[in-house]
């Protein structure tokens, strides 16, 4: 989504290294990494090339993430939106999404057998469904979103950035409108997941991608690259303060 992909990557690494000092869970970090792979493949549909493999791969990575962290399955909505924007929603593409999801489940089952112990396919599906239902039954707690200081800060920055992007660049070209729609969808899904999960900010990492991409996109459009350096510095300072205060 950005011309210079290095800054979002650097900033993401900094966030993972510093932010949420004792609430990040390894499975959430890995699940988010898999989601990023899926999002990257979905966005690459923009080129109009190899759409079949890209849709399959995006569904595969997002489904793998959902096995680790069930709320990640909501990013399949993002995949559908990307397909709608850059391709078309038809039986073939929907079938590719389903095939990717089933492949991820089958590969997870095979890896479980190889690295752990044999388990019947019926027992595997039972455990998978049970764990998914358990996570869902934790309940949605949107109220918890407004308790966490980190969430409030990131959300306010994102909201202001989205408004600024829309006013300044959003209606100037079809490409900008598509980018805005995709970033907004990631934001709302991530915001929903963060409010859903635990209520302690553990899933706030899902807000990082839209935050970093949007800020970088806005700065790139101003042609003031020194602002990118200030953003990274701000992130470092913010996290150091966060380590000491929370």
pLDDT one-digit tens code per residue, 161-183: 667 666 666 566 677 678 778 87
Which range, 12-16, 70-74, 75-79, has the best average confidence (pLDDT)?
Answer: 75-79
Query: Which whole number is the average pLDDT over 118-136?
Result: 72
Examine residue 50 and state whether it is found in any structural domain, yes or no.
yes
Residue whose C-alpha is closest to residue 61's, from 100, 29, 93: 100
User: What are the start-end ranges of the H helices in the chain?
Assistant: 6-18, 26-43, 51-68, 75-86, 91-115, 121-136, 149-165, 174-196, 208-222, 226-245
Which range, 11-15, 25-29, 58-62, 242-246, has the best average confidence (pLDDT)?
Answer: 58-62
User: What are 70's two structure tokens?
Assistant: 């069930």
Query: Over the chain, what is the mean pLDDT?
Result: 71
Of 26-30, 162-166, 215-219, the least confident:
215-219
Domain that holds residue 205: 6-245
Query: Which whole number is the average pLDDT over 75-85?
Result: 93
Rounded CA separation 7/136 (Å): 35
Rounded CA separation 220/215 (Å): 9
Which range, 46-55, 184-193, 231-240, has the best average confidence (pLDDT)?
Answer: 46-55
Examine residue 236 and state whether it is found in any structural domain, yes or no.
yes
Examine residue 194 and state whether it is found in any structural domain, yes or no.
yes
Query: Which whole number is the average pLDDT over 104-123?
Result: 79
Residue 224 per-residue DSSP state: -
Q: For the chain, what is the domain count?
A: 1
pLDDT of residue 186: 82
Of 32-36, 137-141, 161-165, the least confident:
137-141
Examine residue 1 and state whether it is found in any structural domain, yes or no.
no
Examine residue 154 and state whether it is found in any structural domain, yes or no.
yes
Examine residue 86 and state whether it is found in any structural domain, yes or no.
yes
pLDDT band of 79, cuts 50, 70, 90: very high
pLDDT band of 35, cuts 50, 70, 90: confident
pLDDT band of 151, cuts 50, 70, 90: low
- Rg of the chain over all Cα atoms, to the nearest angstrom: 19
Is the pLDDT at 23 greater than 50? The verdict is no
Cβ burial, residue 240 (10 Å; 0-12/13-18/19+): exposed
pLDDT band of 36, cuts 50, 70, 90: confident
């Amino acid at each position: 989504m950005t011309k210079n992909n290095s800054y979002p990557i650097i900033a993401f690494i900094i966030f993972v290294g510093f932010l949420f000092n004792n609430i990040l869970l390894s499975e959430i970090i890995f699940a988010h990494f898999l989601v990023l792979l899926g999002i990257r493949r979905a966005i690459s549909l923009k080129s109009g090339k190899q759409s079949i493999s890209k849709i399959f791969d995006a569904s595969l990575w997002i489904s793998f993430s959902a096995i680790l962290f069930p709320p990640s399955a909501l990013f399949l909505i993002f995949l559908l939106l990307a397909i709608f924007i850059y391709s078309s929603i038809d039986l073939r593409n929907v079938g590719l999404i389903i095939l990717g999801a089933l492949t991820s489940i089958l590969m997870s089952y095979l890896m479980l057998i190889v690295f752990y112990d044999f388990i019947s396919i019926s027992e595997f599906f039972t455990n998978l469904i049970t764990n998914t239902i358990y996570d869902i039954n934790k309940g949605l707690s949107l109220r918890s979103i407004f308790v966490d200081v980190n969430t409030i800060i990131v959300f306010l920055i994102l909201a202001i950035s989205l408004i600024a992007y829309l006013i300044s660049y959003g209606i100037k070209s079809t490409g900008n409108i598509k980018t805005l729609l995709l970033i907004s969808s990631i934001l709302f899904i991530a915001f929903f997941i963060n409010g859903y999960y635990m209520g302690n900010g553990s899933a706030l990492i899902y807000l990082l991608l839209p935050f970093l991409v949007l800020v970088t996109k806005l700065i790139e459009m101003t042609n003031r690259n020194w602002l990118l350096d200030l953003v990274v510095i701000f992130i470092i300072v913010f996290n150091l303060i966060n380590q000491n205060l929370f």
